[in-house]
């Protein structure tokens, strides 16, 4: 799931990424244009009360960002509630979030 909240001044948007807890046993990172596709930069935290992996990232408004989830250090996943999808150079697709 992807949720968006515009900052009070309207210049940035906080994007909240969530995945069900059962998709990973060890770790999940949200990786994309907003962090240089760095698998180590934006690790998600497990919220056991809500049963989800979650991470909030602030990005500039009026942009579109490609992203994917990197699960347990070996598997790439898309978000089934992304704003769209685009082909990537690895014969797959990236999720897209528009803010």
Q: In what order do the strands lie in the sheet with 52-60?
A: 2-6, 12-20, 52-60, 45-47
Domain count, the chain: 1
**CA atoms within 13 Å, Cβ hemisphere of 23:** 25
Residue 31 has a pLDDT of: 97
Residue 91 has pLDDT above 90, yes or no: no
The mean pLDDT of 3-12, rounded to a whole number, is 88
pLDDT single digits (tens) 41-78: 999 999 999 999 999 999 999 999 999 999 999 999 99
Domain that holds residue 13: 2-98
Residue 8 has a pLDDT of: 84
- H or E stretch at 54: strand 52-60
CATH of the domain at 56: 2.60.40.10
What's the pTM value of the predicted model, to 2 decimals? 0.93
Number of CB atoms found within 10 A of residue 14's CB: 14
């Amino acid at each position: 799931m992807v949720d968006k909240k515009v900052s009070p001044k309207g210049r940035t948007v906080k994007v909240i990424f969530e995945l069900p807890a059962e998709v990973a046993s060890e770790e999940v990172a949200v990786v994309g244009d907003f962090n240089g596709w760095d698998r180590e930069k934006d690790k998600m935290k497990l919220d056991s009360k809500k049963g989800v992996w979650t991470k909030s990232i602030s990005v500039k408004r009026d942009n579109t960002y490609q992203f994917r989830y990197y699960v347990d250090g070996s598997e790439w996943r898309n978000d089934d509630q992304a704003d769209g999808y685009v082909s990537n150079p690895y014969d797959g697709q990236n999720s897209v979030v528009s803010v």
